[in-house]
Structure 1
Amino acid sequence: MLERLKQSSSFWMILACFCFAIMGVFVKLGSQQFSVAELVFYRCIAGLAGIFVVVLLQGKTLKVNLPMFKLHMSRCVAGFIALLLYFYAIVHLALPTAVTLSYTSPLFLTLITIFYLKNKLQPRQTLAILIGFVGVVILLKPTFESAQWLAGLMGLGSGLLSGVAYFNVNKLGQAGEPEWRTVFYFSLVSTTGAAILMSLQDAPLTFLNLNNIWIVAGLGVSATIAQLGMTRAYSRGKTLTVASLAYLTVLFATVFAALLWDEQLSWASYIAMALIAACGILSSAFKKSVRL
């Protein structure tokens, strides 16, 4: 039974979704003591250390040619900024709302792919995009009517830049780049970028102690497990099935938010989440050539 679960892409994606939602919880908890830059730093350095150990033990090479390096850097910069915006949204919005806005990435990935390949929009792609944008408008409407409009835009920007990052990940995969090297460079750039932002922030750095180290540990462990689980799920399963299960993160985040902070969303928000999830699933079904 255990071996069957290990071979199941669905199992790994559900585990990844659960851990991504837990990561969001730790970001929310950590925001009371740490800045966004500090949270991103601790989230990324754990994965960087783990992958670096694997590189050393297995004698893998990190060398790439110049065109591939440029592609890595494009993916890394987009992914790093997306992560910063995502954490900012989590800190200032209800957790399910922030997670859902970040999961607009399939919508933007569809638009980026069509623009890059210079293809005309097909009716079914137009339908998926319209459904997604209707969901975004419904979800952002109460946000723009409050002081949280900036956080809402940040969350949406996270989805846009995540779409750019996933597009570059797909190009790296098509070029034969191993997944571990893609994750390594992303972790390296994000850790370095967050460290630079930490050195520039006006507020003093928060030092680790017995009262907050459990937050950092939980953030790093949950993020690393989620990343590994998602990578394994996409490498072993059908893209549409795995992409559909990815929206379980929104469900888990909603449950955690209700239990921990008594965050209650309106029915309109739940409808908007469903529309955005439908857009993502339809986009995955209509783009067989792109791995999300």
Structure 2
Amino acid sequence: MAAPDPITRGIALRIFAAGTYSLMTGLLKFASTDHVAAIEMLFYRATCGLPVVMIWVMANGGLRAIRTERPWAHLTRCTLGIISISLTFQSLILLPLADATTIGFTSPIFATILSWLVLREPVGRHRWLAVILGFIGVAIVMRPGATSHAVPLLGVAVALMAALGQASVTITLRQIGGTEHVAAIVFWFFISSIVVAGLFMPFFASWHTPATYLLLAGAGVCGGLMQLALTASLQSAPVSVIAPFDYLQIVGATIFGWLVLGSPPTINTLGGAALIAGSGLYTAWREHRRRRDPHVPPTQSVA
């Protein structure tokens, strides 16, 4: 049987990454019912995911690959990443799983704005239209004026701050990705997450049931596998081809929340998700056209 071509392999890996992400967030949401704090989620995700990452590091250059000439750049990236992922986990605690995942996909919207403000990159009117549509999607998810099934505004604010943090990470990675090995970026982020979360664990951690610890450990392994699949997919296929499959995370979160957590999606969640996903997919399509046709106005990559 012939081996799949690189494009097919890249798509399969991206779908696997979306599935493991959905499972990770679902397990963490389940664990939050036992009053697990976001710091605990960060600690166990990094600790249980590190062995998986180390296997990948040793297979991709070994310890030489994690050496860096830019420790301060890694410090900035890790600081932004820890803040962002902690806010993401907090949003899982405050919001229904599907809503938290959907709002998280506003990260490309913030990346567009930051690329214009920080990197001074040109953003065409088509991309600005996508930004506006994305924020309309967020407004719909918020259920303005709803008297029942209203989404907590604090949760929405935390999820948006998490997306802004992730966009900041994207900008930082674009600045250091040209000189730093991917293994170094991933490894030092996991190490810094363990160190920072470990310092706060005595203040926020509490005892849980054995089942909860199993959920946290499973989420950590899923997080490590997700990281491997994401990286491998980028080595197999162009970003413009595989990035749209990230939106399967919304589908996975919706199904998990409905069937496992007993939280069916509302019409607002589905409508807002459609607009946010459409905004991101349109952006990816415009970027693909720009790369093929120099006459198409340039847009910002969100990869």
Please state if 1:290 is matched with 2:293: no
- Aligned pair partner of 1:111 in 110, 113, 117: 113
Distance 1:107 1:37 in 2: 27
Secondary structure of the 2:281 match is: helix
Q: Which amino acid aligns with 2:270?
A: Y
Note the aligned Cα RMSD (angstroms): 2.4
TM (norm. structure 1) is 0.89
State the 1:69 CA deviation: 1.8
TM-superposed CA distance for 1:282, in Å, is 2.6
CA distance in 2, matches of 1:64, 1:231: 19
User: Distance between the aligned counterparts of 1:69 and 1:273, measured in 2?
Assistant: 38
The reply on whether 1:239 has 2:239 as its aligned counterpart is yes
Aligned pairs for 1:1-292 (under 5 A) are 3-4=3-4, 8-33=9-34, 34-52=36-54, 58-65=62-69, 68-142=70-144, 146=150, 148-175=152-179, 177-201=180-204, 205-206=206-207, 210-287=210-287, 290=301, 292=303
The worse-fitting range, judged by mean Cα deviation, of 56-65 and 77-86 is: 56-65
CA distance in 2, matches of 1:220, 1:5: 30
Q: Any unmatched runs of 5+ in structure 1? A: none
Percent of pairs identical after alignment?
A: 24
**1:284–1:196 Cα change, 3 Å:** farther
Report deviation, 1:290.
3.4
In 2, Cα distance between equivalents of 1:79 and 1:206: 26
Secondary structure of the corresponding residue to residue 118 of structure 2: helix
SS in 1 for 2:27: helix
CA gap 1:236/1:61 in 2 versus in 1, 3 angstroms: closer
Structure 1 range deviating more: 232-241 or 143-152: 143-152
Moved more, 222-231 or 30-39: 30-39
Letter in 2 for 1:215: L
1:75/1:166 contact within 8 Å kept: no
CA gap of 1:271–1:75, structure 2 versus 1, over 3 A, is: same
User: CA 1:56 to 1:14, structure 2 compared with 1: closer, same or farther past 3 Å?
Assistant: closer
In the superposition, the TM-score normalised over structure 2's length comes to: 0.86
SS across alignment from 2:142: helix
Contact 2:49–2:222 (CA under 8 A) maintained in structure 1? no
Deviations 1:91-118 (A, max 9, x none): 2211010011111111111111111232
Q: CA deviation at 1:193?
A: 1.5
Amino acid at match of 1:71: A
Measured after TM superposition, the shift of residue 140 of structure 1 is: 2.0
Amino acid at match of 1:221: V
Confirm or deny: 8 A CA contact 1:101 1:158 kept in the other structure. Answer: no
How far is the alpha carbon of 1:147 from its aligned partner?
7.1
Q: Output one character per residue of 1:195-229: Cα deviation in whole Å (capped at 9) or x when no partner.
A: 1221233xx5326x643332122111111111111
**How far did residue 263 of structure 1 move?**
1.4
CA contact (8 A) 2:94 2:155 kept: yes
- The number of residue pairs the alignment matches comes to 286
